[in-house]
């Protein structure tokens, strides 16, 4: 099992975990920024973390028929989990702002489906995947991610999240910034446009 410190070292070395002053996609400010795509761009380093997550998934879920991931962030990690667990893996993508299955993907009735993401923050994308599972009359068995940075008060997921690592990412409104953040140049690396 990979230690918390070793995991953080890998995330920092691959620039998947940055420290500084960031405006997140939510518009909130933070001293940390997570971009799992950077980790996954180093397959040899990502493999260590992926194997650890796959082992945790095996311990928690005895029967999985299908892995479903939200595009874009979940596509690579979903594929890796499918490869390591020897399971079919599909992804959903947004069409007119709504997640849907395309490319001939489908979910069989009564299939046991695991949702896999790179990072879970509020669980919004995962919960959109749940709708697709329910529409197919399949069974959601759980949620897994490389990083769980969720906080209970904002989390839409009510089931346990199996993650490789839990990271606390403190967030602040602009008018409540701590002194140390006020003195650092701001970066806006988020995946959604800040208005």
Whole-model pTM: value is: 0.88
Q: Does residue 188 form part of some domain?
A: no
Q: What is the pLDDT of residue 159?
A: 86
Q: Does residue 190 form part of some domain?
A: no
The SS3 call for residue 114 is: strand
Q: Does residue 194 form part of some domain?
A: no
Q: Does residue 170 form part of some domain?
A: yes
Mean pLDDT, rounded, for 84-96: 95
What CATH number is associated with residue 130? 3.40.50.2020
Q: What is the pLDDT of residue 189?
A: 79
Q: Does residue 195 form part of some domain?
A: no
Cα(109)–Cα(69) distance, integer angstroms: 18
Number of domains comprising the chain: 1
Q: Which of 24, 26, 19, 22 has its CA nearest to residue 154?
A: 26
Q: Does residue 110 form part of some domain?
A: yes
Domain coverage including residue 49? 4-182
Q: Does residue 189 form part of some domain?
A: no
Q: What is the pLDDT of residue 190?
A: 61
Q: Give tens-digit pLDDT for 18-65.
A: 999 998 877 889 999 999 999 999 999 999 999 999 999 999 999 999
Mean pLDDT, rounded, for 87-112: 95
Q: Does residue 90 form part of some domain?
A: yes
């Amino acid at each position: 099992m990979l230690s918390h410190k070793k995991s953080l070292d890998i995330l920092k070395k691959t620039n998947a975990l940055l420290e500084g002053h960031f405006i997140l996609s939510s518009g909130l400010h933070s001293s940390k920024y997570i971009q799992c795509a950077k980790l996954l761009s180093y397959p040899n380093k990502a493999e260590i973390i992926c194997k650890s997550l796959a082992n945790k998934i095996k311990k928690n879920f005895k029967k999985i028929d299908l892995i479903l991931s939200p595009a874009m962030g979940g596509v690579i990690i979903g594929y890796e989990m499918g490869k390591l667990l020897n399971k079919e893996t599909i992804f959903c993508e947004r069409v007119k702002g709504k997640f849907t299955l395309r490319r001939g993907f489908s979910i069989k009735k009564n299939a046991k489906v695991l949702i896999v993401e790179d990072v879970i923050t509020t669980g919004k994308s995962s919960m959109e995947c749940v709708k697709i599972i329910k529409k197919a009359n399949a069974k959601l068995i759980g949620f897994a991610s490389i990083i769980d940075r969720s906080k209970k008060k904002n989390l839409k997921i009510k089931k346990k999240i199996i993650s490789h690592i839990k990271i606390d990412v403190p967030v602040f409104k602009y008018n409540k910034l701590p002194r140390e953040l006020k003195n650092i140049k701001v970066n806006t690396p988020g995946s959604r446009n800040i208005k």
